[in-house]
Amino acid sequence: MEQYDVVVVGGGPSGAAVARDIAAAGYRVAILERDRDIGQPVQCSGLVTERTLAAAGISPEIAHNQLVGAAIHSPSGARYDIGGDRVHAYVLDRTRFDLSMMIQALELDVDVHANARVVDIDRERDSLRLTVESHRSIHEFSTRLVVGADGPRSIVAQFLELPPPVEVLRARGADVRLPARLAPDQVLIFTGERYAAGFFAWLIPLGRDRYRLGWGTSRAGSAQTLRNLTDDYPDIFSGMQILSQTGGLIPLGPRPVTSGERGMVVGDAAGQAKATSGGGLFTALTCARYCARTALDALSSDDFSAEKLSSYDRDWRADIGVELEHATALRSAYRELTDADLDLGLRMLRFRGMRAIVNRYGDIDYPSVLAARALRAAPSLLRLAHGRGNLRAFISDNAQSVVSASSD
């Protein structure tokens, strides 16, 4: 049986970041990654800000492309262009990004076991025993502490008996080739029931004629999304060639508790993605920093009690917890909007003043800042609430504080 101070289950960016930071302090750390190849399959749109790259310690050169704006298509087919004044996002080569994060861990002597699926976790007197299936054989690992960075169906979260996230979104994606001449630095967004009920669809330029198409929904019946897009927007999708396809689950709204005795969860395993967009790299890397800090404190004191590890919960929530709560409230309200509501709300983008607010305060990492500014500038948007508690609660309880905090 191999023995470690910490075993991280999951070899994505958050798992690699936690393992790297703990190993840097001299502890013996292992990563158990169920897939054979790091960074595969790609189940992410790859749209991030520069602060995400800074948090990862990775150069923007790893990006496929830089985006300066977006074109939002309303359910009725109207188009609204925003941005264009600066770089708002980078489109990652997600496989290279994941590999770069893993190399950082390997350089600090983290043991990485690929094609290693954890099938059971048991408590022993002073440790945990992980049973791992690898290459059709069974191996066992002993550890003082386990960190789950193993996605929405986290076995570590199950072991710790943690409550579920608020919502789980089903997402589909494909890398495609398009003959259409589209803006090379603008993401296309499609809203409405025909494309992504309760969410949205996106088309991200990767460079030349390649694009990343995706959509998400929390409802059944999304099988027609691709056909509806190609039928409704032939000028964009005619002649499309699908190069690869993928799909997965995105947990939205953090678990109420993300730690327990001898264990913590981070990233998608903790439901730490932004509920407004499903993006989770920035939040995962932010929380990974606090997870590693808590682990180091527990290792130095040899105290892995639930009470000791609960400082992880307190720390990451003190940093980005309020923002994630705001995003969850906005998401809950958004998913109830009808196509008519969306058309009405998006019409506000016809006005130069509203576009200026979006261009100035739009930030995919902190969407509540823009929401608060927009609601303050256009109180008529409140009519979209139709008495819905979530949106009104965000406005009454949070909007003013967000605006004040973001004031120049």
Kindly report, residue by residue over 40-64, the tens digit of the pLDDT: 666 677 889 999 999 999 999 889 8
Q: Where are the domains of the chain?
A: 2-40+95-165+253-323, 47-91+167-251, 329-405
**Per-residue pLDDT at 313:** 97
Burial of 127: CB neighbours in 10 Å, binned 0-12, 13-18, 19+: buried
CB 157 within 8 A of CB 265: yes
**How are beta strands 29-32 and 167-177 bridged, if at all?**
unpaired
pLDDT digits (tens, 9 = 90+) for 303-356: 999 999 999 999 999 999 999 998 998 888 888 889 999 999 999 999 999 999
| CATH topology identical between 2-40+95-165+253-323 and 47-91+167-251 | no
Mean pLDDT of 264-269: 97
Q: Which residue has the tokens 């990233």?
A: 267
- Cβ-proximal residues to 37 (8 Å cutoff; 6+ apart), any chain: 114
Q: DSSP per residue over 163-205, as a string?
A: PPPSEEEEEEEEEEE--S---TTEEEEE-SHHHHTTS-EEEEE
CB 119 within 8 A of CB 133: yes
pTM value is 0.91
**Per-residue pLDDT at 247:** 85
What is the second-level CATH architecture of the domain 2-40+95-165+253-323? 3-Layer(bba) Sandwich (3.50)
Closest C-alpha to 5, from 128, 145, 122, 139: 145
Give CATH for domain 47-91+167-251. Answer: 3.30.9.10
Mean pLDDT of 205-232: 85
pLDDT digits (tens, 9 = 90+) for 231-258: 999 999 999 999 998 888 889 999 999 9
Is the pLDDT reported for residue 405 higher than 60? no
